[in-house]
Amino acid sequence: MITKPIKTNVITGFLGVGKTSLIKQLLANKPNDETWAVLVNEFGEIGVDASLINKTSRNDVFIKEVAGGCLCCAAGVPTQVAINQIIQRAKPDRILIEPTGIGHPQQIIKVLKAPHYQQVIDLKATLCLVDARKVADPRYHQHPIFIEQLCIADVVIANKSELYETKDQQALNDFLQQLQLRPVVVEARAHFSAPGLIHSLLEQLDKPQKMRINADVQLVNKSTLPKPSLLSAKSAMWEGEDKSSPKPLTANEIRCKTNQGDDFYSVGWLTGVAYCFEFEKLMSWFESFKRPWVLRVKAVMITADGILAVNMVDGQLTLAELDETMDSRVEIISSTQLDAQQLQAQLLGCLVV
């Protein structure tokens, strides 16, 4: 039985703007006496972000990933099952929801505000991360998803501000005014390391969700909404099959998965622990994706030199070292369809011989 509604925040923003990095910082600085849960959704079928969030031995952080498409557009029974499983298993004090950067977050907001969640979810401020350098680019300011993410934001975080010119921040302010939006605007820099910034953002999390939801966005078909009370332990919604959890990967197995939607494409691979890659070959392969039509590359790879985390946005490649992983995984999101068979051959060519 749920005795107190769970504080819930949606953290949105376009591809590669720093949502996962922010969530890591929030988790690292959350109150010690609280249990937090994170629901991560990715457009690609593989799912990398949950591996990039530092999953320590702490038992006060619960992370669930739903890969393969927009959590927002799939905001019917499967999405509600994922949320309900988090509530049942983690019994969290707060839930952070990170929709895919190319998803429609208004839909997930509407689901969270549905009548059957009124006694379960206490929807708090929605945060939207944005790189102000991109606002002047028509590919962003004319993109309906980019606009939608800003329209639902109670707090807009202008991330990577150390890289801005004066005109960039002004462009963001002007665009918000053009959209007739008045969110709280916070500047963030250096991976959210500025003194007091995370404390300030933790305070923002507790503010109420109040930005408008456009009436022209239709809620999920009412016939898909569950009839039983979600407060009942016997509700079928608590016991739905968790289709987001694939069968375990064997040591010598490789899986390739693709997805497409909203004029975006993804291709990705999972490889078992028996596959070990050469660092230099992998770097050459990742460098080959510095093309205008490649929007994002994310990977966690087992190499002869250790476990490598890879992130590429706008042709900028960043690397980090991880402590452990159960497999290697890579996801590529592009604006044109890529040749999965050719890319897989290139990936396997990076193996240690």
Prediction pTM value: 0.76
CATH number at residue 158: 3.40.50.300
Q: 42 with 138, same domain?
A: yes
Q: Which structure tokens are listed for 152?
A: 């639902």
- pLDDT range class, residue 124, cuts 50, 70, 90: very high
**Does 248 fall in a domain?**
no
Q: 134 with 23, same domain?
A: yes
Kindly compute the dihedral angle of the four CA atoms of residues 337, 342, 343, 348, in this order, to the nearest 10 degrees.
160
pLDDT reported for residue 245: 54
DSSP 245: S
pLDDT reported for residue 219: 32
Give pLDDT tens digits for 275-327: 999 999 999 999 999 999 998 898 999 999 999 989 898 888 989 888 888 88
Q: Which structure tokens are listed for 41?
A: 């959704």
What's the N-to-C CA distance of the chain in angstroms? Answer: 55
* Of 209, 239, 269, the domain-final residue: 239
pLDDT reported for residue 232: 36
* Of 239, 263, 295, the domain-final residue: 239
Q: 181 with 326, same domain?
A: no
Give pLDDT tens digits for 161-184: 999 999 999 999 999 999 999 999
Place of tokens 């952070």: 96
User: In this predicted model, which residue has the larger pLDDT, 348 or 20?
Assistant: 348
Instruction: State which residues form the domain around 310.
Output: 254-348
Helix ranges, the chain (H): 19-28, 49-52, 77-90, 105-112, 138-141, 144-151, 166-178, 197-205, 279-287, 340-348
Q: 260 with 327, same domain?
A: yes
Q: Is the pLDDT of residue 69 over 80?
A: no
Task: Taking residues 5-26, report their average pLDDT.
Answer: 91
CATH number at residue 319: 3.30.1220.10
User: In this predicted model, which residue has the larger pLDDT, 36 or 226?
Assistant: 36
- 107 vs 91: CA distance, rounded Å: 24
- 153 vs 148: CA distance, rounded Å: 9
Q: 16 with 75, same domain?
A: yes
Q: Which structure tokens are listed for 174?
A: 């002007």
- 218 vs 237: CA distance, rounded Å: 22
Give pLDDT tens digits for 225-237: 333 333 333 333 3
